[in-house]
A and B are shown apart, each in its own frame.
Chain A
Amino acid sequence: EDKVVQSPLSLVVHEGDTVTLNCSYEVTNFRSLLWYKQEKKAPTFLFMLTSSGIEKKSGRLSSILDKKELFSILNITATQTGDSAVYLCAVETGSNYKLTFGKGTLLTVNP
C-alpha cells in the first residue's frame, strides 16, 4: 500500500519566520511528488517535482525532492498571515496517475 507521511501535522509561527515542511513516501511506480495549498476549498497547486536535487522556486516558496531518501521538503521564507493553510503533499504513481495524499501540515502564521 502506498504511504505518504507529512510532518509536523501542525505548526504555529510568527510572521517573518521561515518554516520547513516535510514529506516522506513509500510508493510503487513513483511518477512525481506534488505540493498543494488548501485553504477553505479545494487544493491549489504549488509544485510538481520529478527529479532529485532540483529546487523549484516560486516567490517565497521553494521545494526539493530526494528520490534516494524518498522525501521532499517545502520551505516558506518570511512567512505572512496569508500563508496560513493546510499544505498537502501527494505522490503520483502508476500508469493511471493516481495521487496518494499525506495528512497535511496545518500552518498557522500569527501576526
Chain B
Amino acid sequence: GAVVSQHPSWVICKSGTSVKIECRSLDFQATTMFWYRQFPKQSLMLMATSNEGSKATYEQGVEKDKFLINHASLTLSTLTVTSAHPEDSSFYICSARAPGGMDTQYFGPGTRLTVL
C-alpha cells in the first residue's frame, strides 16, 4: 500500500514557539492531504483539508491563523502550529489521498506535540 511519512514523530517545545510538522507521500502523488488532531482517549478530529496549490479548508472551530497549512507540492504538506500553548499538546496525524480514485486515505505515523 501507499506510504505516508511524518516528521518529526515527536516534539517538545516551549510555550510561545512555533512548530512545523511535515507530511509526505512517499510513493504516490497526493492532490489532497488531511490534518487531524487526536487528544488522549478521544477520536480523530479533522482540522483541515489541504489541496495542492490552493488554500486549505479549515473545519469549524479551527483557527487558520494558528494552524498554518501549506501544500506546496503533490508530495508534501506542512502544518505549522504558531505560538504554541500547552492546550495545543496533542497527537497530530496527516493522511493523503491519491488523485482520481477509489483508494482510501493513507495515514502517516503521527506527531506527538508537547508544549511546556
Contacts and interface: CB of A to CB of B under 8 A. Distances in A.
A88 B49 contact: no
Contacts of A92: 104-105
A97 B105 contact: yes
A99 B43 contact: no
Interface string A34-51: 101000011111001000
Contacts of B44: 43, 88, 90, 99, 101
B46 interface: yes
Contacts of A84: none
Nearest to A88: B43
A100 B46 contact: yes
A36 B95 CA distance: 13
Q: At the interface, is chain A mostly helix, strand, loop or mixed?
A: strand
B43 A42 contact: no
Contact of B49 (A34, A42, A96): A96
A32 interface: yes
Contact of B43 (A96, A98, A101): A101
Interface of B: 1, 32, 34, 42-46, 49, 57, 93, 95, 97, 104-110
A44 B95 CA distance: 11
Contacts of B43: 88, 101-104
Contact of A42 (B1, B45, B107): B107
Interface of A: 32, 34, 36, 41-45, 48, 88, 90, 92, 96-104
A8 B104 CA distance: 25
A50 B45 CA distance: 22
Instruction: Indicate the member of A43, A45, A48, A96 with the most B CB atoms within 10 Å.
Output: A43
Contact of A97 (B1, B32, B45): B32
A97 B46 CA distance: 12
29 contacts: A36-B107, A41-B109, A41-B110, A42-B93, A42-B108, A43-B44, A43-B107, A44-B107, A45-B104, A45-B106, A45-B107, A48-B104, A88-B44, A90-B44, A92-B104, A92-B105, A96-B49, A96-B57, A97-B97, A98-B49, A99-B34, A99-B46, A99-B95, A101-B43, A101-B44, A101-B45, A102-B43, A103-B42, A103-B43
